[in-house]
Structure 1
Amino acid sequence: MADSSTRQPSMLQALLPIGLLVILLAFSVYLYGSDSSYGANQIALIICAAVALLVGLKNGQTWRELEKGVVDGISIALGALLILLMVGALIGSWILAGTVPTMIYYGLQILSPEYFYVATCAICAIVALSIGSSWTTAGTVGIGLIGVSQGLGLSMEITAGAIISGAYFGDKMSPLSDTTNLAPAVTGTDLFTHIRHMMWTTTPALIISFVIFAIIGFNADANEQVLVLEDTLQLLNDNFNISLWTLVPMLVVFVLAFKKVPAIATILVGALLAAVFAVIFQSDVIVTFVNEPELQTGLVYLKGVWTSLFSGFSVSTGNEVYDELLSRGGMTSMLNTMFLIITAMSFGAAMEVTGLLHKLIKTVIGVAKSTGALIGSVLATCIGMNVITADQYISIVLPGRMYKAEFKRRGLDAKNLSRTLEDSATITSPLIPWNTCGAYMAGTLGVATGAYWIYCYFNLITPFVSFIYALFNFKITPIEGDEASE
């Protein structure tokens, strides 16, 4: 809104698209239930984006300016959309290659049902801490752990919550993570000061999460799990060549991720390598999957791996749970998730280009008088940004820029702001169905965001820990030395 001829939006105008979105999403969930994310929510987001753009036109902005803002906003998500396509291909080829079945097979025998949820959270935390990516963690070991939970007769929803809790702890605390580097860069503090300061809020939240997952695990029904376990092991053995060699594609992905090879390239290599391993180790599986006896052997292998990459793998054994477990993947499985992300980013971009987002944030800053209220407003703003803009990076950068001067004016060290950004923007992003992170986790793990979010204990607890610290002024560091006198 650089043109002086345009009018600044009012608070009522800023709230109009938000209020309408809340109403439409409520009706969407009421009418369509868990299927609301398969089109109804997208329509709601598009309608509200249109309302925001109409406000911009009313205030004197040109259509060209508004259109460019929306297109630029959507372009931010292009990388995430490509990653989603690659992950879809990876899931399909990993199942066909026996990578996922082998992970499930050995996981079923190693992981005890009583400790499964705690172990899942811990495993994902360690992997994400090592490679710095919650997305890669969920798309690799997360897929296997979801399968193990079904094999043990445990809740997929709770398992997804444990995976996401662990993955986001590791992502948040890893110096290799993009968000962990972004938050201190935006606020003007250094990386390792930022990480050390985050430990005060992050560690208690993780410990509490472990305790909750342990309590849930100890109350599981062990007798039913033993029967499900035996059936699943037999089915896996009957339908796949279970071999440790099939885990090589997963190890290659971990190595590439650790070496900070770009995510799209890393996942694509993992998918294509699995396609090769499928031909080597699962030739009989491919023949059954393609089910075209008239084709030459080489063409059967080609069609099998090709199909797994674009439309996923499917199997029919008569066991509904088993079939659902391994009939997944393919690029096409991610198209609805991409649809959701594009419409959500359109709404967020419309709110930003019209100045409505800026108006909301400025109003929130103005009412925060105490330190506790200021940090609480950052938490609320970042969570709101995740809802409105559907992107965790925007939810870090925009509030970070807008609150930076206010923190300095009040004599608060920049590391307080960077920690608060991560305690809210990074952590809550997978809890919103249309956020890029929430949509990715739902698409990858095969569990709806609305079903798993209540079990993401780490993600839910961390903002509360951060707010409690702020209320009692605990570990809220003032500016020291020369910077305080500037």
Structure 2
Amino acid sequence: MNKQISFKEAVTILTLMLAVLGWGVIGFGLSPQIPVLTVIALLIFWLQIRGFEWEEVMKGISQGISTAIVPIFIFLLIGTLIAVWIQAGIIPSLMVLGFHLISSHFFVPSVFMVCSLVGLAIGSGFTTVSTVGIALFGMGSTLGINPALTVGAIISGAVFGDKMSPLSDSTNLASAVAETDLFDHIKNMMWSTIPAFIGSLLFFFFLGQSNKATSLAGIAAVESSLRQHFSVSFWAALPIILMFACAWKKVPAIQTLFVNIFLSVAMIFVQNPGFKMQKLATLIESGYVSNSGNKT
């Protein structure tokens, strides 16, 4: 740009933008779209007052959008992945397996460890929360674990795995901005991240002891409902193995998600030969809607 903005002015404008966003979303309870559009309009108006040419403003908008395109595309694919994973019985199968493997007394620290390992392998905290996290949350609800504690363990583990993964977009971006080697960057983060990991694990271990499991009859009822409405089998492990294999081979996130979605869709049609393409389109567009009648 031809014109320069001082650091003080930039901080002032950023503070005002955040204030407008917070005022709209928190103060008035509006959906984020309206405050965001308001901030964009005010920002463009301010740039015009400062004497910036319209071409410069449009160039800045284009650059900002181009930076966000890939993350937005990944978010869309993750939404599709969640829907087809549920329909194909992958997440229900994880829940059923977890009922037999994880003790309720050690459930919370187990959730933290599992999400940490998955996040570390695939390099995406959002994907971890949206796939394995959903299954673990459903298990926690059935076992009578405090939902807030379960969510805390899921998100904490996913964030740790994402932060320390060489496949993470944010970790790669940070090392690129700092102009340092990726693995040197990860090693330096360990000085603060490893103590935080150990402290969190101990925290979830002791805090999770105060929870009591629900009756075995309640777990059996949920498991029966899952088996009745979904295809629960060891074949559900295929997409998960594929995701870990892609992570091991350092396949980019978009390709990994596409391949996993195609495999999951193929499993849906194998399990339900009469499954209609229209229903698949609705599943991808609107997500999975349960009709099991079981609120848990």
Q: TM-score, normalised by structure 2?
A: 0.88
Task: Classify 1:317/1:126 alpha carbon distance in 2 versus 1 (closer, same or farther; 3 Å).
Answer: closer
Q: Note the residue ranges of structure 2 that are not aligned, 5 or more in a row.
A: none
Separation in 2 of the partners of 1:126 and 1:7? 45
Tell me, in whole angstroms, the C-alpha distance in 2 between the residues paired with 1:83 and 1:24. 25
Cross-structure match for 1:109:
100
AA aligned to 1:280 is V
Structure 2 residue aligned with 1:11: 8
Equivalences for residues 85-164 of structure 1 within 5 A: 85-164=76-155
Distance 1:61 1:159 in 2: 50
Post-superposition shift, 1:98?
Answer: 0.8
Q: How does 1:117-266 map to 2 (within 5 A)?
A: 117-222=108-213, 224=214, 226-266=216-256
- Match of residue 290, structure 2, among 315, 328, 341: 315
Per-residue displacement from partner, 1:139-166 (whole Å, max 9, x unpaired)?
Answer: 4322322222233233444333222211
Structure whose CA Rg is larger: 1
2:264 aligned with 1:274: yes
Shift of 1:27: 4.8
Q: Residue deviations 1:294-339, cap 9 Å, x none? A: xxx74x4433433322222223233223xxxxxxxxxxxxxxxxxx
Is the CA contact (8 Å cut-off) linking 1:101 and 1:236 kept in structure 2? yes
CA distance in 2, matches of 1:225, 1:69: 58
CA distance in 2 between partners of 1:193 and 1:91 (Å)? 34
**1:278, 1:259 → 2: CA distance?**
26
Residue 337 (structure 1) aligns with: none
1:237-386 matches, within 5 Å, as 237-281=227-271, 283=272, 298=274, 300-321=275-296
Amino acid aligned to 1:177: S
Q: Is the 8 A contact 2:24 2:35 kept in 1?
A: no
1:22 paired residue among 3, 19, 23: 19
Q: Secondary structure at the match of 2:93?
A: helix
Separation (CA, whole Å) in 2 of partners of 1:234 and 1:227: 10
Shift of 1:101: 0.8
Q: Secondary structure at the match of 2:290?
A: coil
Distance 2:170 2:18 in 1: 28
> Partners of 1:7 and 1:134 in 2: how far apart?
37
- Could you tell me which amino acid in structure 2 is paired with residue 92 of structure 1? A
* Partner Cα distance (1:128, 1:142) in 2: 10
Shift, 1:77, TM fit: 1.1
Kindly report the root-mean-square deviation, in angstroms, between the aligned alpha carbons of the 2 structures. 2.4
Equivalent residue number for residue 294 of structure 1: none
Q: In the aligned structure 2, how far is the partner of 1:51 from the partner of 1:31? A: 18
CA–CA distance in structure 1, aligned partners of residues 248 and 48 of structure 2: 47
Superposed, which structure 2 residues align to 1:55-66 within 5 Å?
55-66=46-57
Spell out, residue by residue over 1:40-85, the C-alpha distance to the aligned partner (whole angstroms, 9 max, x if none): x221122122222222222111122112201220221111111122
Separation in structure 1 between the aligned mates of residue 54 and residue 294 of structure 2, nearest angstrom: 55
Identity %: 36
Measure how far apart 1:186 and its partner are.
2.5
Shift of the 221–31 alpha-carbon distance from structure 1 to 2, 3 Å rule, reads farther
The letter of the residue matching 2:280 is: V
Give the whole-Å Cα distance in 2 for the aligned partners of 1:225 and 1:22.
Answer: 48
User: Distance between the aligned counterparts of 2:121 and 2:206, measured in 1?
Assistant: 27
User: Would the alpha carbon gap of residues 74 and 225 (structure 1) be closer, same or farther in structure 2, given more than 3 Å must change?
Assistant: farther
Give the Cα separation in 1 of the matches to 2:7 and 2:276. Answer: 62
Which amino acid counterpart does residue 49 of structure 1 have in structure 2? I
Match of 1:367 in 2: none
| Code of the aligned partner of 2:232 | I
Change (3 A) 1:165 1:183: same
1:325-376 superposed Cα distances (whole Å, 9 cap, x missing partner): xxxxxxxxxxxxxxxxxxxxxxxxxxxxxxxxxxxxxxxxxxxxxxxxxxxx
